[in-house]
Structure 1
Amino acid sequence: MSYIRISRIVAVALAAAALGTAAGAQAQPDTGSAEQPLPVGSTIEPPIDCAPTAAHPYPVVVLPGADGTPEQTAAQWDTMVGALRGAGYCTLLFQGGISNDRRWNGDMPGEAGQVADFVTKVRQTTGAAKVEIVAHSAGSIVSNYYLKVLGGAPAVSHAVFMTPEVRGCDGAGVVGIPNPPITPVQMLHALPFLRSALAASSHEFAVAMQMTPDSPVYKAIFDTAVTQPGVTYSVIATRRDQLATPAPACSVIDEPGVVNEVFEDLFPDAAPVDHSLIRSSDDTAGWVLRQLSR
C-alpha cells in the first residue's frame, strides 16, 4: 500500500489515459471504490521472550517493508536485528498484513491496528511503559497511521524510519524511465476515475489506491503534521533509491525536531545501497543504534 505499489499501475494507467484522451478524457466521478473494505491479512508474531533492561527500558519493535516474502525476512533483517540485540535491546520483528505471501498487502488501517495490538501485547508482557519502532519503507507508513490516526504515540518513545514514503512521492520509481513525461500520481490526479476503476479491478490495485494523494488514508496521515508530541523521529534516505522517488525528497519528514539524513552523506565510502539494501547495511544498523540512544 505504498507509493512503490502505485508505480505498478503505470502500464494500465497509460493505456486507460490513451483511451480517455481519444474520447476527450472526460473525467468521471470517483465512486469511492478505493475505500471499500479490504481484507487485513494475517500476522507473524515473534515470541516475546526478552526483557527490557535499565540501560534499554523500551523494547524495539521492528517493522519490515513490503519487499520480499515472509520467508526471506530473517536473511533480510539479520544484520539489523543482530545489531539491536547485540547492543542489549529487547528486539521483536513483527510482520503484518500478510496476503499472497507478501507483507503489508491488506487494508492499511487494519494493518496499523495489528501493530497497535502487538505493541499492547509487548508492553503488557514486558512491563515496559513504551516501545521504540524501527521501520522500513511500507512499514513506516503503517507506523505513521498507528502513531497519528490510531493514537499510538503515547506508547512509543522513538520512531526510526529507513527509506520511508512520505509526501511528494511520484510513484514512478519502478517504471525504469528517468523523468517520465507523466508519473502515476499525476495520471491519477488528471484522471480521477482511474482510482476507483483500478481499485475495483484487483486486490493489489485496491491496496495501492489507499496511498494515492486523494485517498482518505493518505489524507489522514499527510494532510497535517505527521509527527506526534512525545515521539522522537529519525529518518535515513538514500540518493540511490530507485523506488521511493524522487529521492531523497520523497522520504523527508520536513517537520520540526525530525532528524533527516542521507546515507551517502553519512557514509561516502560505504558500499552502495538502494531502497531495500539500506536495511541490510552495517552502517545503517550503527546509525539506528545512535538514533535510539539520543
Structure 2
Amino acid sequence: MDRCDSGRRWNRRRGRWAAVCTGLALALGVGQGAAGAVGDPAPPPPRGRILDFPLAAIGGLVRPDAPPPGADDWNCRPTRAHPRPVVLLHGTWANAYDDWGLMSPYLKQLGYCVFAAEYGGAPGNPVKATAHVPDSARQIAEYVDRVLKATGAHQVDLVGHSQGGGLTPRWYLRFDGGTDAAHPERNKVHSLIGLAPSNHGTTGSGLGTLTTKLGLDKPVSLVLGEAYEDQLVGSEVNTTLDRDGDTRPGVDYTVIATKYDEVVTPYSHQFLTAGPGATVKNITIQDICREDASEHLSIAYDSNAAQLVRNALDPAHAAPVRCGVALPVLGG
C-alpha cells in the first residue's frame, strides 16, 4: 500500500524522494546495506516507504475492522508455486489494517493467498489482541479452519508480529489443534514466522519488571488487557507454554528480531530452540542488513524484514536481501 504515492507525479519524483530518504537515513546514522541479488533476478522487493507505519496507524483508527490491501480474498485459490495460504496475525494493541499495510500487498504481489485475522478485541475497537492469550488462540484456530475450508488447502503458513508471531500462535499450535504431535503430516500449520515475537516473555524495557515487583500486573492488565500480564517474563501462560519445549513436530519456525527492540526485551527472549521434528531459524536483522535501524513497531514496515519473510515462506527460492533504508518508527 503506497500511502506516499501521488500517482504519476510520484513516478516522476521517485529518484528525488529516494535521495531525500537516503540523506535522512545518513543524517540519523542509517545507511543502505550492500547485499544484492546474484544469479537469477530476485523477486521484486516490497515497496516500503518512509512514514508507512505512522500513516497505517492512523488508517487503523479510522478502519479498525478493514483488511489490509491484498488480504481476505475468500475466492483465492493457492497455486502450485504457493500451495499454502498465508495467515497474518497482528500484534498487541494493534489490528490487521495498521499492522500489515506493507506485508499483505507484498505477499499478494508474489502470488500468495493472503488472509489477515483479527483477534483478541471487540469489532469496531482499533485496539485488539488484548484478551487472555488462550482465548485469542481459540479465535486464531477458528480463523485458520475457515481459511483452510475456503481455499481447499491442507496447511497454512502463519506470519505474525509481536504477540501474533509468538506465544499466541504457539499456544494455538500446542493446545488448540494447530498441530498433531503423533501425526505431524496432519498439522494445519506448516510454518510460523515471527517478527519481533513475544516468545519467552518480556521485561518491557523494565516496566514489566517494575509492575511485577510492585504486585501491579493484574491491576495494569485491567486497563491494558490480560495479554499484558500474559506476555511478561515468568507469567503463567509463558510457564505453561514453555514447559514441554519451544516447538512442535513438523513445523518450521523462523524468528526475525531486531537488536533495537524496546518492547520485547531482552530481544534474545524472542529466539526459539528446536525440539524433535521441528526446525528453527533465529535471525537478528542487523546480521543481514547491518545498518537496519528498525525497532519493535517499525519491523512490520521494514522492507528488509519482508524479504526475509519471503525467503522463509519459500526457502527453495530464497534470494539475497537487497538491504534498504529502515528507520525507527517510520519504517522503510
Shared fold (TM-score, shorter chain, > 0.5): yes
User: Which of 66, 69, 75 is 2:92 aligned to?
Assistant: 66
CA spacing shift, 1:269–1:215, aligned 2, 3 Å: closer
In the TM superposition, what whole-angstrom CA distance separates every residue of 1:247-294 from its partner, at most 9, and x where no partner exists? 2x1211133531001111101244x21101111111111111111112
In the TM superposition, what whole-angstrom CA distance separates every residue of 1:34-79 from its partner, at most 9, and x where no partner exists? xxxxxxxx977735231101111110001111254x4xx4354232
Say which SS state the counterpart of residue 142 (structure 2) adopts: helix
Does 2:100 align with 1:83? no
Does 2:193 align with 1:160? yes
User: Which of 254, 258, 262 is 2:284 aligned to?
Assistant: 262
CA spacing shift, 1:207–1:288, aligned 2, 3 Å: closer
AA aligned to 2:74 is: I
Instruction: Tell me how far 1:205 sits from its aligned partner.
Output: 5.1
- Residues 246 and 273 of structure 2 are in contact (CA less than 8 Å); yes or no, is this contact kept in structure 1? no
Q: Which residue of 1 aligns with 2:265?
A: 245
Q: Determine the C-alpha separation between the residues in 1 that align with 2:162 and 2:266.
A: 14
CA spacing shift, 1:265–1:283, aligned 2, 3 Å: same
Does 2:126 align with 1:108? no
Q: Which residue of 2 aligns with 1:94?
A: 117
Say which SS state the counterpart of residue 157 (structure 2) adopts: strand
- Residues 123 and 130 of structure 1 are in contact (CA less than 8 Å); yes or no, is this contact kept in structure 2? yes
Q: Determine the C-alpha separation between the residues in 1 that align with 2:226 and 2:198.
A: 18
CA spacing shift, 1:127–1:281, aligned 2, 3 Å: same
CA spacing shift, 1:241–1:127, aligned 2, 3 Å: same
Does 2:245 align with 1:225? yes
In the TM superposition, what whole-angstrom CA distance separates every residue of 1:130-161 from its partner, at most 9, and x where no partner exists? 00000000112211110112131210001110
Q: Which residue of 1 aligns with 2:313?
A: 292
- Residues 44 and 94 of structure 1 are in contact (CA less than 8 Å); yes or no, is this contact kept in structure 2? no
- Residues 83 and 286 of structure 1 are in contact (CA less than 8 Å); yes or no, is this contact kept in structure 2? no
Percent identity, please: 28
Q: Which residue of 2 aligns with 1:125?
A: 150
Q: List alignment gaps of at least 5 residues for structure 1.
A: 1-41, 176-183
In the TM superposition, what whole-angstrom CA distance separates every residue of 1:107-132 from its partner, at most 9, and x where no partner exists? 22111111101111111111100000
AA aligned to 1:145 is: W
Q: Determine the C-alpha separation between the residues in 2 that align with 1:163 and 1:112.
A: 18
Q: Determine the C-alpha separation between the residues in 1 that align with 2:274 and 2:284.
A: 16
Say which SS state the counterpart of residue 97 (structure 1) adopts: coil
Q: Determine the C-alpha separation between the residues in 2 that align with 1:123 and 1:101.
A: 26
Instruction: Tell me how far 1:196 sits from its aligned partner.
Output: 4.9
In the TM superposition, what whole-angstrom CA distance separates every residue of 1:188-241 from its partner, at most 9, and x where no partner exists? 2x56x5445555xx2525442233445432222123312100110001000111
Say which SS state the counterpart of residue 101 (structure 1) adopts: coil
Within 5 A, what are the aligned runs for 1:167-182? 167=200, 169-172=202-205, 175=207
**What TM-score, normalized to structure 2?**
0.64
Say which SS state the counterpart of residue 172 (structure 2) adopts: helix
AA aligned to 1:88 is: G
CA spacing shift, 1:169–1:215, aligned 2, 3 Å: closer
CA spacing shift, 1:195–1:66, aligned 2, 3 Å: closer
- Residues 203 and 232 of structure 2 are in contact (CA less than 8 Å); yes or no, is this contact kept in structure 1? no
Larger CA deviation: 149-158 vs 254-263: 254-263
**What TM-score, normalized to structure 1?**
0.72
The structure with higher relative contact order (CA 8 Å, sep 6+) is 1
- Residues 148 and 226 of structure 1 are in contact (CA less than 8 Å); yes or no, is this contact kept in structure 2? no
Larger CA deviation: 207-216 vs 113-122: 207-216
AA aligned to 1:277 is: S
Q: Determine the C-alpha separation between the residues in 2 that align with 1:194 and 1:269.
A: 38
Q: List alignment gaps of at least 5 residues for structure 2.
A: 1-63, 180-186, 316-332
Q: Determine the C-alpha separation between the residues in 2 that align with 1:63 and 1:172.
A: 23
